[in-house]
Amino acid sequence: DTEVTQTPKHLVMGMTNKKSLKCEQHMGHRAMYWYKQKAKKPPELMFVYSYEKLSINESVPSRFSPECPNSSLLNLHLHALQPEDSALYLCASSQGPLAWREPTDTQYFGPGTRLTVL
Partner 1 sequence: AQSVTQLGSHVSVSEGALVLLRCNYSSSVPPYLFWYVQYPNQGLQLLLKYTSAATLVKGINGFEAEFKKSETSFHLTKPSAHMSDAAEYFCAVSKGGAQKLVFGQGTRLTINP
- Binding residue (CB under 8 A) for partner 1 from 45, 60, 73, 80: 45
Q: Which long-range contacts link 101-110 to residues 24+ away (Cβ below 8 Å)? A: 105/31, 107/33, 108/2, 108/3, 108/4, 108/25, 108/27, 108/29, 109/4, 109/35, 110/4, 110/5, 110/6, 110/23
Smallest gap, in angstroms, from Cβ of residue 34 to partner 1? 13
- Among the listed ranges 14-22, 60-68, 70-78, 101-109, the one in contact with partner 1 (CB under 8 A) is 101-109
**Using an 8 Å Cβ cutoff, are 116 and 78 in contact?**
no
- Residue 52 lies near partner 1 (rule: CB under 8 A): no
Between residues 15 and 54, which has the closer beta carbon with respect to partner 1?
54
Chain contacts with partner 1 (rule: CB under 8 A): 4, 6, 31, 40-43, 45, 48, 55-56, 90, 92, 94, 99-112, 114
